[in-house]
Structure 1
Amino acid sequence: MKIAVAGTGYVGLVTGVCLAEHGHLVTCVDVDEKKVELMKKGVSPIYEEGLPELMVKNMERLTFTTDYASAYRDAEVIFIGVGTPEKVDGSANLKYVYTVAKQIAQSVEKDCVVVVKSTVPIGTNDKVEDFIRSNLVHSVNIDVASNPEFLAQGTAVRDTLHASRIVIGAGNNRCRETLEKVYKTFDSPKLITDRRSAEMIKYASNDFLALKISYINEIANFCETIGANIEDVAAGMGFDSRIGNKFLKAGIGYGGSCFPKDTKALHWLGNYYDQEFKTIKAAIEVNDNQKLKLLKKARQYYPSLEGLQVAVLGLAFKPGTNDLREAPSIVNVGILLDDGASIRAYDPVAAKAFDALYPGKLTYCDQAKEALNGADLCFIFTEWDEVRALTPEDFCSRMKTPIILDGRNCYSVESFEARKVVYDSIGRKTVNTLF
């Protein structure tokens, strides 16, 4: 089928490339000319495992352009995969969705189905359909479908090609049949529902996972108080099939493009309809506090951070991506700098993007070990393989004062017990043989 995809971020680009992999002719549209030129050369503008190789493999079926009119003119299906960032009040900003909707209305010259892939508030698909139909330049039939994505950054290609489920929110049979044709060769369970239910499935899924993360983090914090081990607790919980063992890893909170934005958006939407989501509100508050967990620990060892040499291991919100959106590293580094600390940081892919946030304020290292040299304190924000490969000897031999604050529980507590060190992690006992 002839398909156009609006937006080449994580959702749009991965969707377009994976649809090309399944034999469709795909035109990806973006407003950024430099970005488009890179993609024409087979270069991915985002760091995502397996994506560059898949782009090169399918270049004969992929077109990249800034010319939305030519892309939308005779497309059979148009996917909207643009961002829906949060506003100051927590609601979803639909500016980019409606910009694309207007462009589609001005450009389409044949009947087509518009598919909203972006995460949008419940009822948005109905409004987008009304908007496009009211602004059509040509006499064509346009239907809008909801087709939320369930990809995770770092595994987005696999999550698209081998999706846990494909949800299709269709308003009529033509819409449903068109999407079934698009996904005919995808070997994934398919759920056909109405548009509002499809929109709600996305929010309900993401927010439930955020709830689970915040819950296990609160349990981890209490484990530190009472002397229990969160890893044993989580393992015991995970054996129960009703709970499952996914998203039970304690740490310093969730980040990225989905969970923070989607929890705030659904909480805002609930308040708009006079129905407060108390559990989601709690998850947001817990996560905001959890991001500062390591700083609170640091102040137990250093009343002042002025003049300290601090090693920061990991900047991205999770391994496998260079995405910094809502990454715990951002707020922590800002406070460390404000308090007068000097920072040597390591991240295999996110350093360049992070330097744009704090230009010239950090020293970036090519190796994780290098960041430890002469450090008074070490913060671990991202569990990259290169970070997990470090040994207690690496910390003890390179740091001036081996105080390690591990926000991702990268190492076993026992491995530090024979060392003169402070190893303080999340929800587990602290090794302190220094003081």
Structure 2
Amino acid sequence: MTATPLLGGPTLPQRRELRTDLPGPKSRALLDRKVAAVAPGVGLSLPVFVAAAGGGVLVDVDDNVLIDLGSGIAVTTIGNSAPAVVAAVTEQVARFTHTCFMITGYASYVEVAEELNRLTPGDHVKTTALFNSGAEAVENAIKIARRHTRRPAVVAFDHGYHGRTNLTMALTAKVMPYKDGFGPFAPEVYRAPASYPLRDGLSGEQAAARAIGQIEKQVGVDNLAAVIIEPIQGEGGFVVPAPGFLATLAFWAKEHGVVFIADEIQTGFARTGDLFACEHEDVVPDLITTAKGIAGGLPLSAVTGRAEMMAAAHPGGLGGTYGGSPVACAAALAALRSYTEQDLAGRARAVEAIILDELSELRDDPRIGEIRGRGAMIGIEFVGEGGRPDPDLTTRIVAAVHAQGVVLLTCGTYGNVIRLLPPLSIPDDLLREGLAVLREAVRSV
């Protein structure tokens, strides 16, 4: 097995190794402290506590080495504690940690904006604003669209997920656990049906016509500021829309002066085998929101878009105390260089090939409705009789995989999808080992 060096730290063996049952005694002690000290609304999917991470592994406080197939929900795409990111952050922290860019500027904010303007889809003139989280980016994209169009309404889609703040909860389709009891929500948010080929059987053009018809009838284009959609839906179940759906929707939006916002917070930065998922469909959004993989694990997000739209917000209308932190910007510059210089989009396509090969023998299992996705973003949807979602089976399979020291996540409106989001730094043999554990769990549960 290969090992991964952590700058300033130990070399982590890239092999699964369980010294205790999971969780181990030190993790259980920390879990007791968590229950006493942390609000219960903050959940914990796998009750282990991490002491170190890198490559494709997490090492917990009991010295168990777990295979990481989650990347902190697609955040550590380039690998945890990637040496280039660690070096950039260490250098920046030694110089200064904060000034607030709205008070006194610094070059790294400008440099990140320049890189995003260059890398995001389309060759039109763009500008960028930086924030802290994906939800902040989404909120600010909506602000910009409303200011630009002078219209109030926004359309999001079935199965979509956009965040946990008030406006982004309104945009998010799934009630539990994100919305239940937290209303009332922001007004003038409407929902349209998305393309879900497994469940609707429609072509992309047919699904787009269905959505557009509903929008025109229930909202009206003269009232509509923006449509916002994930090019591949994340929390909704790693749903890849039928070909033509996104392009048809984007063309219609352009024809009617509606801002087309691509939420690439989970799909962005090489995750799907292109730098951005929109590129698979040759779709150029007006505004694009990014976060997660942007800065190698540090909190940073962005809205990048057509310069004339971005200019609609008056000076002082965008920003925030921590938005575009100099430490996060240093990390982002190192991460963005890694994506391009190391061809990590190509690496994501190689990861996809391994995943599909290792899971190929499961395709005939009648409990699996579909294996779908792109790049290092693959979902497995589990179904019961009549194709109905089977969240109970999904939960039991994930529990069995967790017990064997492999970190997996679930998703889906119905809770019946396992999502695979390995870091692109994971060695091939370790990835195959983790997938073998998953295969065995599917067989045995």
Same fold (TM over 0.5): no
TM-score, normalisation: structure 2 = 0.31
Larger Rg: 1
